[in-house]
Structure 1
Amino acid sequence: MADRLSADFVVVGSGIIGSLAARKLALAGASVIILEAGPRVTLAELVARFRNSPRRSDWMSPYPSVPWAPHPIYQPEPNNHIVQAGAYPYAAEYIRQVGGTSWHWAAHAWRNLPNDFRIKSLYGVGVDWPFGYDDLEPFYQEAEEIMGVSGADNTGSPRQKPFPMEPVAEPYAMRRLRERLAPEYEVVSNTTARNSRPYDGRPACCGNNSCQPICPINAQYHGGLSADAAEAAGARLIANANVYKLEHDEKGNITAALYYDPDRASHRVTGKTFVVAANGIESPRLLLLSTSDKFPNGLANSSDMVGRNLMDHPSTSLTFDADEDVWLGRGPQSPSSINVMRDGPFRSEHAPYRLDFTNISRVDGATRALIAAGVYGSELGKRLRYSAAREMNVKNVLEVLPDPERRITLSSEKDEMGIPKPEARYSIDDYTRKGHERSQQDFQRIANLMGGSNLRFSKEGEFANNQHICGTLSMGNDPRTSVCDQWGRAHDHENLFLAGTAVLPTSSTCNSTENGLAVALRSVAHVLEQQGASTSATGISKS
């Protein structure tokens, strides 16, 4: 063991949720150490990698996996970091570096709807959350003020205060969708952590149309900014610190985190309270790795629920050619959606969903497809212009219900550091498939209203993955069916808290990051109150 480090709070994971939880703790006067498995990388490095990448449509190309902190890579060849063992492959993507996966997110910052917290009581499916919308509302607001969220009023989620700023300017293509679909659908601006005006020292969106994989000017919030804010508040961040085990005392309280550096030298960090905030795959993996004579099945796992209830948001889609030039590619990549199917009595029968419109430039994809088809010369130019100007795409974002058989476990295969790889068991059930089937009516009607031709539905039976990993450390009131309580405290360990999207009991229809962040900020407020810190639960000033 090389170092002996100690702090009031030890946070595992420097993503947007772990870093902002650490920031709030540090602002309250606590000593905080953040341990991040991957390296520290600057915005300039990431932008250069993207611009120089031969795979511009591969959003992971600026984020290579490193041997001491491997993460899933699928192009040009899969690295098989996640071992597949289920009925349906779960090709999750995430980034292990300072700031985590939100470096390349779409920045959607939707709140749940009030009914999303009570789907068992209301519709007889899934589970109820251990608290309700009103309990989380102040912390949604806190998250939105930190990140700088822009949005419109017609989201369906009640608000006590307005959004920090108005929506980003509507792209022309989205305006035409809104106008032409108006008789039957309301097209709304997406709620996003993206500046529509200068905010918190960052500029307004200038429409680079590269939100995924990287916003080159920091108009879009991301975990790198969160990590910077945590350090500015006084937290110490140690990069290249791959935590492979948590230790405990005879009472079951966590005493230390052990990590490998890139040379596989082991280090030990002690603390009073531990927060595991890696992600919905790496967090349960760590708990399952942390076996002992007292806890032979891993930490927080007396219920055998660690890693279970793996959820995401599968999508199917329709691509078509509109009957007018709309020119996708100007402004943000994911600016507008239809929300009428997010909630209703139908949830007792099939999955709810959002309908999300892409605004990603069609030039790269169309060029590759045409060249692959052997189209060259003047015909290439003609057909490329047509596709770039008229091609449109809409996808559904489907709810997945919690199911203990969908899970993350440990594989017998090991990664480059000699640590067992995560193994995924995933499936798509009838509830979600029926939601997909219902959405096809909307797809067809949207195409009709846009004068659509050349309709290309996604391949039957195939669902795209949205990388909204959640549910593997679900919170609940019953220690027999959940991993942690409503505050994120592990049922089995007094000083172990779990943070991130993994604790969400259900997936709803919205991207999981804002929900996970709001829950974490609520948990930190509770911890500080319990420990007597003199800070308010909300409204903490920005660093």
Structure 2
Amino acid sequence: MSDQLSADIVVIGSGIVGSLAAHRLVSQGASVLILEAGPRVDRGRIVANFRNSPRKNDFMSPYPFSSWAPHPVYQPVDNNYLVQAGPYPYKAEYIRMVGGTTWHWAAQAWRVLPNDLRLQTLYGVGRDWPISYDDLEPFYYEAEVKMGVSGAPNNGSPRSKPFPMQPVAESFLEQRFRERLAPGGYDVITNTTARNSRNYDGRPACCGNNNCMPICPIDAQYHGGLAADAAEKAGAKLVENAVVYRIEHDERGRIAAVHYYDRDKVSHRVTGKTFILAANGIESPKLLLLSASDKYKNGLANSSDMVGRHLMDHPSNGLVFDADEELWPGRGPMSPSSINSLRDGAFRSEHAAFRIDISNASQVLSVTQALIAKGVYGDELEQQIRYHAARQCSVKNVLEILPDPNNRVTLSDRKDALGIPTPQMHYAMSDYVHKGMAAAREEYTRIAKLMGGTNLRYSPDGVYGNNQHITGTMSMGHDPKDSVVDAFGRTHDHENLYIASTGVMPTAATVNSTLTAVALALRSAEHIHANA
């Protein structure tokens, strides 16, 4: 075992959530050590990997796979890192490297709606949060300033201060959807995103590359790598290739240390006063379960048996169609705008709420692949590519799923290269989801008609996409019997262990979870500092 490391605050995970919490704490005078399982890779290398990849529609292909810190891979073949116990496959994608998964996100940085935190009280479904929207609002704004967020002011989430910048100029496709859907009663608004419309925090404005996923080539889009850099510049120490495999507690139940393997499986012990578990909603419960002991036989923070349970994401179905005019998707952000009118309402007692996202991603690749598969070639191929790539467009939903204790993360019997058990996924879809998907399909049909749509191609019935918004596996709540952490993210069972992750969200709402997780982490950081 190597020499011991120590800090006031030990953060496990260098993604956007953990790094921004670390940045806040180190800026307030604490010594902070960040442990990251994966390697450090710079933006230039990722961009080169993307440009050289034969799989341009595989958002994971530019990112390194590390045998000592494996993540799920599905193309060209499934590496089965996530063991599927069914009945519905949950094929999450995430990156284990410095900065985490927001390297390849769409930068959507939405706030939840106030009613999203009161589902049980208002609609008799799901769970209520142990905090109110007003508790979270100042930390939302702090996160927006750090990340450089813009959006439509009328998006349903109250604000005490305006966005720190104006949105990126709308694309022609976004403009035409807004104009043509308005007579049908649809209000198309610009998405709330962490993407520069002007020089901000030393980074340039968006120049419309249209490959926000898998990588913004100029850093106009905020991501966890920038957050990790900021934490280090402020004084935090970051150790890469540090795979934490056990959290150690003392006889009183306080966390005393964490143990990690380096890439050669040499074990290291790290001590601290306060520990923040900031891996994602799969890797964090995995580590808590791995850390079972004679005192905590079901794993740490798990006296409630809730660690790993209530796994949620945002399942999606969608529609691809050809508009009756040239829209030329492919210039500007890939996901620029959406319809938000069905995010809330009395119907939530019966079926899932959803947001409808309008894609502006280039259609050239998918159109070309479809035409070649049909046997089109030569001059006709070129003509049809030009025709269809200009008109083909798509919409999809971001749909709420309710917390279900049977949807969960457990430990599988498989082990990775370091001998650590891999996660096993138990997942199912309810009638609440199916009814919401059916309601969304009716909206798609109306939208396509307003756009003069032809050649309508709906998602197959019962087959839903996954948005990689992993929530719910370490839910916050007032009652230690049915939750893992309290309203400040501190575990009920261990007074000096906090969790900063999308996994602490008790419900998933209808928007991307990153900004909410960051706001919750900043609130936790304030609580840690105040109680130091």
TM-score tier by shorter-chain length is over 0.9
- 1:75 equivalent to 2:75? Answer yes
Partner of 1:66: 66
Misfit runs of 4+, over 6 Å: none
- 1:527 equivalent to 2:528? Answer yes
Partner of 2:438: 437
For residues 367-516 of structure 1, what are the structure 2 equivalents within 5 Å?
Answer: 367-516=368-517
Distance 2:433 2:527 in 1: 35
Amino acid at match of 2:431: D
* Residue deviations 1:351-390 (CA, integer Å, cap 9, x gap): 0000000100001111122112221101111111111100
Partner of 2:362: 361
Partner of 2:37: 37
Q: Does the 8 A contact of 1:65 with 1:72 survive in 2?
A: no
For residues 123-138 of structure 1, what are the structure 2 equivalents within 5 Å?
Answer: 123-138=123-138
Distance 1:422 1:270 in 2: 26
Amino acid at match of 1:421: T
Distance 1:366 1:119 in 2: 41
Give the Å deviation of 1:224.
0.2
Distance 1:368 1:497 in 2: 47
Q: Does the 8 A contact of 1:316 with 1:463 survive in 2?
A: yes
Partner of 2:3: 3
- 1:167 equivalent to 2:167? Answer yes
Distance 1:330 1:316 in 2: 24
Amino acid at match of 2:125: V
* Residue deviations 1:35-54 (CA, integer Å, cap 9, x gap): 00000000000000000000
- For 1:86, what is the secondary structure of its paired residue? strand
Amino acid at match of 1:179: E
- For 2:219, what is the secondary structure of its paired residue? coil
Partner of 1:343: 344
Distance 1:85 1:162 in 2: 45
Give the Å deviation of 1:65.
1.7
- 1:149 equivalent to 2:149? Answer yes
Over aligned residue pairs, what C-alpha RMSD do you find? Answer: 0.6
User: Given the two structures, how large is their TM-score scaled by the length of structure 1?
Assistant: 0.97
Partner of 2:46: 46
Q: Which moved more, 1:221-230 or 1:432-441?
A: 432-441
Distance 2:150 2:376 in 1: 42
Give the Å deviation of 1:305.
0.4
For residues 66-465 of structure 1, what are the structure 2 equivalents within 5 Å?
Answer: 66-183=66-183, 184-465=185-466
- For 1:371, what is the secondary structure of its paired residue? helix
Distance 1:281 1:160 in 2: 34
Q: Does the 8 A contact of 1:10 with 1:274 survive in 2?
A: yes
Q: Give the unaligned 5+ runs of structure 1.
A: 532-543
Give the Å deviation of 1:3.
2.4
How many percent of aligned residue pairs carry the same amino acid? 66
Distance 2:43 2:498 in 1: 31
* Residue deviations 1:142-193 (CA, integer Å, cap 9, x gap): 0000000011211101100000011111000110000000112000000000
Give the Å deviation of 1:293.
0.7
Q: Does the 8 A contact of 1:9 with 1:32 survive in 2?
A: yes
Partner of 1:534: none
* Residue deviations 1:384-419 (CA, integer Å, cap 9, x gap): 111110001000110010010000000011111110
Distance 1:425 1:3 in 2: 39
Distance 2:3 2:401 in 1: 43
Q: Give the unaligned 5+ runs of structure 2.
A: none
Distance 2:475 2:469 in 1: 15
* Residue deviations 1:406-453 (CA, integer Å, cap 9, x gap): 000000111111100100001111111111111111100000000000
User: Given the two structures, how large is their TM-score scaled by the length of structure 2?
Assistant: 0.99
Distance 1:152 1:323 in 2: 28
Q: Does the 8 A contact of 1:38 with 1:242 survive in 2?
A: yes
Give the Å deviation of 1:132.
0.4
- For 2:46, what is the secondary structure of its paired residue? helix
* Residue deviations 1:304-333 (CA, integer Å, cap 9, x gap): 100000000000000000000000000000
Amino acid at match of 2:10: V
Distance 1:528 1:266 in 2: 30
Q: Does the 8 A contact of 1:400 with 1:432 survive in 2?
A: yes
* Residue deviations 1:4-61 (CA, integer Å, cap 9, x gap): 0000010000000000000111001000100000000000000000000000110000
Distance 2:310 2:410 in 1: 12
